[in-house]
Amino acid sequence: MDIRISKESEIPLRQQLAEQIVLLIATGKLEAGQALPSVRELARRLKIHHNTVSEAYQDLIRRRWLVGRRGSRVMVRTLKEGVQPAAASSLDDLINNLIRVARQEGYSLQSLRERVRDRLLAEPPDHILVVDTDAGLRRLLQQEIRAALNWPVDVCSREELAASPGLGIGALTVAAHYAIPDVNPLLPGNRPAIPLVFGAPDEQLDMIRQRRDPSILAVVSVSQGFLQTARSVISTAAGRRHVLQEFLLPLPGPGALAAVDVVFADSIAGREIQHPHLVPYRLIAPESLDYLASALRTP
């Protein structure tokens, strides 16, 4: 794992570590099911106290980025984490399992029949549905997909999809790859969500490390989650040499960025603000957009 910890940063070491692991998962550099180094091994690598690593791991387990089992190493959550249905050896067994689970959850046989009928009659997708808990992140994904593929794109949260499963009818659903285990149970089994991998900000971090003079840096985004991760990741490159500021759109005023030397902006902010040294960052990795385009072309 390529993790850099700055002991000079004002960001707590535990938070720096946790958010960099989040970035590695979001960009696909840590894959589902991949085991992380032990607490003591990672502490030794980074030259920090093992309690700091343990706290970061526990934080990410609580946030459902990682899973931990007694006697095993912590690993990235897989698509199959959670309770699995009983094994079925025939179509009748599958139907019996479905009826049993539906009754346990309080669904009537009539509602089950209607829902199965709706799924069987579902037409091929005519739009894309972005599912994410962060409203700002939904806007970013929507804008980037719409610009790249020229397809209609709707958005909703996981809670909205759970409350109204009909939102998925006629849609090709997409979600950040780390959120797939939470989204797929809300969709028809024959139409799982397409996972999106985020691009790594390597170019932006190298640009910061190469700046010789002390600078004021700013990150501007429509997503609070984007800002939180960016702050922890960029601070390791900025250290104490540079000052880092964060702005959630809309900006507090027309002169908010007047004293800023370099602005790092997401794809929406980059279109809405003006600055002579604007560095854009596209969230979705190009290969993920290519994969989504191919899925749309598949009958």
Q: What is the per-residue pLDDT across 237-291, written as a single tens digit (0 to 9) for each? A: 998 899 999 999 999 998 999 999 999 999 999 999 999 999 999 999 999 999 9
Dist CA 26 CA 15 (whole Å): 16
b/e code 159-192 from CB counts within 10 Å (16+ = b): eebeeeeebbbebbbbbbbbbbbbbbebbbeebe
Res 86: pLDDT:
46
The string of pLDDT tens digits covering residues 165-192 is 888 878 899 999 999 999 999 987 778 9
What residues contact 136, with CB distance under 8 A and at least 6 apart? 221, 222, 223, 224, 225, 226, 248
What pLDDT score was predicted for residue 123? 65
Give the pLDDT confidence score for residue 226 in this predicted structure: 94
pLDDT value of residue 66: 94
pLDDT at 70: 73
What pLDDT is stored for residue 121 in this prediction?
47
pLDDT score for 159 = 96
pLDDT number for residue 84: 44
**Spans in the chain with pLDDT lower than 70:** 79-90, 104, 117-123, 298-299
pTM, whole model, 2 decimals? 0.75
Residue 192 and residue 160: Cα distance in Å, rounded? 17
Which two three-digit tokens encode residue 171?
């849609």
CA nearest 99: which of 83, 81, 87, 112? 112
